[in-house]
Structure 1
Amino acid sequence: MAKREAYFSVDVEADGPIPGPYSMLSFGMSACGTFDGDVFAPVDPSKETFYAELKPISDDFIPEALAVSGLERDRLVVEGRDPAEAMNAAAAWVAEVAATANASSVLVAYPLGFDWMFLYWYWMRFADDGSPFGHSRHLDLKSLYATKANAMVTRSTKRQMPADLLSDRPHTHNALDDAIEQAELFHNLVRWTGPPK
């Protein structure tokens, strides 16, 4: 068992609210640090990354959801990666980065539920060895903030967070850009001791 954890910030763009009936169109991952139980060691989240755009898995989509990412389904039908190939490549990348750090992999997202639901479903459905994060090695940044801030979850949105916790990077709805931006939020939350008393 590894004595450290390696954290991966992830972001998903999809054309609907759930996987299966709808498709994950793209996802980005960024290696963002390690923790040995005592010391968190952040790393530049733009250095080790993974990004994929996928072929849709169904004909159904919600136009409003599709519009968020700006991705074109017709292009992805032709140019997108096969989901099995992409999910296997992503799992291998996570395993390689974690092994280099002699660490167990942990997925981080804000909020976790949407991104984890799509990624876990896709890994279990398409990847040969399932999820590189098992079924539960994940951390919700919204819950981390709510706990440290002693705030209600409904009052733990980015708009309600102190500005110095947020990344200076723009939120572009490109999955890799947003994974890197989110990694910087993670770095700040780990160091944050909470609001002034």
Structure 2
Amino acid sequence: MQEVYVSTDIEADGPIPGSYSMLSFGSAAYLADKTLVGTFSANLETLPDAQEHPKTMDWWKSQPKAWAACRTNLQKPEKAMPEYVAWLKSLPGKPVFVAYPASYDFMFVYWYLVQFTGECPFSHAALDIKTYTMAVTKQPFRQINKKTIPQQWFDPIPHTHIALDDAIGQGAMFCNMLQENMNS
């Protein structure tokens, strides 16, 4: 079965799930040849007993357009997460979670999937774009950032801090990286 690379970006009001809420998430499903086979996004109601982290909320004040975008058309996680699982299962292959950084985004998505659906179609693994960059470019991990990633991997897609926009952009970048690596 082919792999489908599910580039995912989340927006949250704090550093960890449970204590803080995932406000929004977006996923863009790509085949290895950069064919976009589908997208999914949802803005979520906050968890009933969660807090807002002061430093995160200070950052949100600098992003009013993204904040407004993630606070419209709110859904209960109990509704959105089962719909997300159904979407993942409908993809034309085995879903692979891809993110930059995967450790942050996957932590929230995994927690929400297990909490609200009891399962995670990604299993217990995520593909981190920064780690993949390290392997392909042979650069030290701590030296990799968006300024040191080869510019030919970026498509002209703006990074808006709106989850679906960012998932589409990083997914296209990952596919560009994958193609260059597979063809070298």
TM-score interval, smaller chain: 0.7 to 0.9
Q: What's the CA shift string for 1:46-98, capped at 9, x where partnerless?
A: x61101000000341124424057425xx56xx5211111111111101011x
Q: Separation in 2 of the partners of 1:183 and 1:88?
A: 23
TM-score, length basis structure 1 = 0.82
For residue 80 of structure 2, the aligned residue among 75, 81, 86 is 86
Task: Classify the secondary structure of the residue corresponding to 1:71.
Answer: helix
Does the 8 Å contact 2:34/2:172 carry over to 1?
no
Q: Separation in 2 of the partners of 1:59 and 1:108?
A: 26
Give 1:25's aligned amino acid. Answer: L
Q: Which moved more, 1:158-167 or 1:108-117?
A: 158-167
Task: Classify the secondary structure of the residue corresponding to 1:176.
Answer: helix
- In the TM superposition, 1:113-152 aligns within 5 A as 113-127=103-117, 129-136=118-125, 138-152=126-140
- Count of equivalent residues: 176
Q: Which moved more, 1:170-179 or 1:148-157?
A: 148-157
Does the 8 Å contact 1:146/1:152 carry over to 2?
yes
Does residue 42 (structure 1) correspond to residue 34 (structure 2)? The answer is: yes
Alignment match, 1:61: 52
Q: Separation in 2 of the partners of 1:192 and 1:185?
A: 11
Unmatched tracts of structure 1, length 5 or more: 34-39
Instruction: Return structure 1 stretches of 4+ with deviation > 6 angstroms.
Output: none
Task: Classify the secondary structure of the residue corresponding to 2:42.
Answer: strand
- In the TM superposition, 1:73-112 aligns within 5 A as 79-97=73-91, 101=92, 103-112=93-102
Alignment match, 2:161: 173
Q: Separation in 1 of the partners of 2:177 and 2:144?
A: 12
Q: CA deviation at 1:9?
A: 0.5
Q: Which moved more, 1:160-169 or 1:11-20?
A: 160-169
TM-score, length basis structure 2 = 0.88
Alignment match, 2:7: 9
Give 1:157's aligned amino acid. Answer: N
